[in-house]
Structure 1
Amino acid sequence: MSHMRYPESLFKVQRELLSKYHVTSASQYYSGEDFWQTPVDPTESQSQQDQDILQPPYYLTLQTGGTEEPVFSLTSTYIPAGQSTREILTGFLSVDSDAGNEKGKIGSNYGTIRLQELPKDSNVPGPGQAQNNFNANADVSKELNLLQSGDTQVVRGNLLTLPLGGGLVYVQPVYVKSSGVTSFPLLKKTLVAFGDQVGFADTLDEALDQVFGGNSGAAAGDAENVSGDQSGSDTNGGQSGTTDGKSDSGLSSDRSPELQQALNDAAQAMKDSQSAMKNGDWTAYGKAQQELEDALNKAIELDK
């Protein structure tokens, strides 16, 4: 049963119902003053946020108030319903997604929903406000501008909400990615927020220490993963850097015209595949996939 997990689609329905039915008073339910809503995903572009693209649930291994040890869970958050001038967190929802590891037997707590309701006078920022705090921090903005130079692009990861020390902390990974055809995002920094305090460091451990003004006592397990200069870019146009004079694709920086053309053909085939899949044209998709395979095989042969 260990390969199973709680269905995200079911959880989305349940969190929508609980946004209203957590209210147990008939008068309060009738007034609607205590209704909640799922926040818009603050990591999306402004145009996507204007379309009310909701923050998705996230699978996380964490310890909530109703558990004695970390549990694999599906999680989401709530903010007050309606248009509010300041987004605050009102609830943290999680469901036990651990189906158990015994064959043919479902875990005893699988599907258990836990709702952590914050006090009404709480001022814990919601996800959108936390993202705004990250964006408005002068030190964070300065470092992100330095990272985003040349052809290097800064990519924000998911904004995660985690219970910690009786409160809730926000964590967001920050990646860098070059514009190379075969480049991929590399973890560079970690953003952490607790209340209005913001930490920004190479590792989660360091960011937590910044937020709590010293040794946070947390052991995220990434203390040795200091990124240093492994940003996936170098000074030559932002291509992924290595120490052996090769570019992000692992090929020699002085590529032959034939090899470069093969890589360009592969990139175009990937775009054609995505376009065909989006349009439901499976004949064109199959053709593009074959062209992609041919281009990659040619590139491999030329690089020998």
Structure 2
Amino acid sequence: NRQILERVNKAMPFLIYDRDPYMVITENGRLVWMIDGYTTANSYPYSATLSELGNYIRNSVKVTIDAYNGTVSFYIADSTDPLINAYSRIFPGVFKPVSLMPTDLRSHIRYPQALFTIQAKVYSLYHMTDPQVFYNKEDLWKIPESFSEGATETMMPYYTIMKLAEVGKTEEFILMVPLSPAKKENMIAWLAARCDEPNYGKMLVFDFPKQNLVYGPEQIESRINQDPEISKTLTLWNQGGSRVIWGSLLVIPVEQSLIYVQPLYIAAQSGGVPELKRVIVSYGNSIAMEETLEKSLNTIFGKTFEPLAQEASSQPVPNNSSDVKSLISEAGHQFESAQEELKRGNWAGYGNAMQKVEQLLKDLGNKIK
């Protein structure tokens, strides 16, 4: 069977498989599919039931499929799970320890979005540790909604590369999602799952001070729609047989602040390949919509870094204007490269380019502190 999800389901039908398999390239150039496998149950004591998954779920298995010969390998990723240990004894030799997975494949293991979304929803309630607050649900959180394809939908967690404040010494691959109060739209925290060894699977939450207003994704998109120039342009583009497609809103933590980046595409009502038309950047109270990311960043940050006037008696003032312009230019170049990869359907290339964009924006944020 050449359909990889059907293939693994026939091999091990008692596991639940992630709907988002991804392909990696090994050191010797072979293509290998990787799929996350879950053990589930519906009779775990004192546990809430989640739709069709029951009330117990573990990402206990990592599956690899060689794209050339179809070889399927099952690796135990969570040796503390009693279910996968039982299956391993029932089918001796089928499940191997994840330590036996080739190193070049292990480096591509990522924390699954589906499981992380479930955990984020559960944490939105159970982060409350005070019994009275928990009973009254006074501090209930939610995953914010985002505008896409003419409708609002729950924001999906996304992968990014960043240096975690206070706990990380270098940049690392993480999965993150912002969180908002249940009845408000501002951002109250963001949750992250680490994907790199030796910290794989460790989760962190970064709380924002409640006394300070931090714009959430819904508020940013509302501010975008309320901007007179942007609103006028979008209304014009949505006429004459074309439609505006909102790209994924990217929330990028930079030290003690956030940068929001959202691409806008235009496509014909009858179909066709969407074309990148504008890039919106929001930072603080400023919003810019320009043809490229570079121009949007320049609109917001350009005037901030003009050389400071110096009096004859004053000490020379360091000027990092050229560094900032270089970072803005490179970020714009990488963003355009990402869009080209997206048009070609090269998701790996698109992801790599967007990761570079995020890192450049973080470097830019460090320059403007």
TM-score grouping bracket, smaller chain normalisation: 0.5 to 0.7
8 Å contact 2:147–2:246 — kept in the other structure?
A: no
- 1:28 aligned onto 2:133: yes
| CA separation of 1:222 and 1:212: change in aligned 2, threshold 3 A | closer
Q: How many residues end up aligned between the 2 structures?
A: 211
Match for residue 259 of structure 2 among 169, 174, 190: 169
Match for residue 60 of structure 1 among 160, 181, 184: 160
Give identity over the alignment, percent.
31
How far off its partner does 1:44 sit?
5.3
Match of 1:97 in 2: 195
Match of 1:74 in 2: 175
- 1:194 aligned onto 2:194: no
Distance 1:164 1:187 in 2: 25
Match for residue 298 of structure 2 among 193, 206, 209: 209
1:56 is aligned with what amino acid? M
Cα shift readout 1:193-251 (whole Å, capped 9, x = no counterpart): 12332111222233233334535735473434798xx9xxxxxxxxxxxxxxxxxxxxx
1:68 is aligned with what amino acid? K
TM-score by length of 1: 0.61
Match of 2:110 in 1: 5
Distance 2:161 2:237 in 1: 30
Within 5 Å, which residues of 2 pair with 1:1-304? 1-43=106-148, 45-46=150-151, 49=152, 53-65=153-165, 66-81=167-182, 83-84=183-184, 87-98=185-196, 107-148=197-238, 150-179=240-269, 183-212=272-301, 214=303, 217=324, 218-219=327-328, 221-224=330-333
How far off its partner does 1:55 sit?
1.3
Distance 2:236 2:143 in 1: 34
Cα shift readout 1:143-181 (whole Å, capped 9, x = no counterpart): 334544533332110112110242122211111223565
Cα shift readout 1:44-85 (whole Å, capped 9, x = no counterpart): 534xx4xxx42111122233323333322211111112x34x
Cα shift readout 1:79-117 (whole Å, capped 9, x = no counterpart): 112x34xx111011111123xxxxxxxx11211212110
Distance 1:43 1:148 in 2: 14
5+ residue gaps, structure 1: 99-106, 231-304
How far off its partner does 1:140 sit?
1.4
Distance 2:121 2:240 in 1: 43
Let me know the Cα RMSD of the aligned residues.
2.7
Distance 1:30 1:73 in 2: 33
Looking at both structures, which has the greater relative contact order when contacts are Cα pairs under 8 Å and sequence separation is at least 6? 1
| CA separation of 1:220 and 1:125: change in aligned 2, threshold 3 A | farther
8 Å contact 1:157–1:175 — kept in the other structure?
A: yes
8 Å contact 1:60–1:72 — kept in the other structure?
A: yes
| CA separation of 1:211 and 1:63: change in aligned 2, threshold 3 A | farther
| CA separation of 1:27 and 1:226: change in aligned 2, threshold 3 A | closer
8 Å contact 1:64–1:163 — kept in the other structure?
A: no
5+ residue gaps, structure 2: 1-105, 306-323, 340-369
8 Å contact 1:94–1:113 — kept in the other structure?
A: yes
Distance 1:96 1:77 in 2: 15
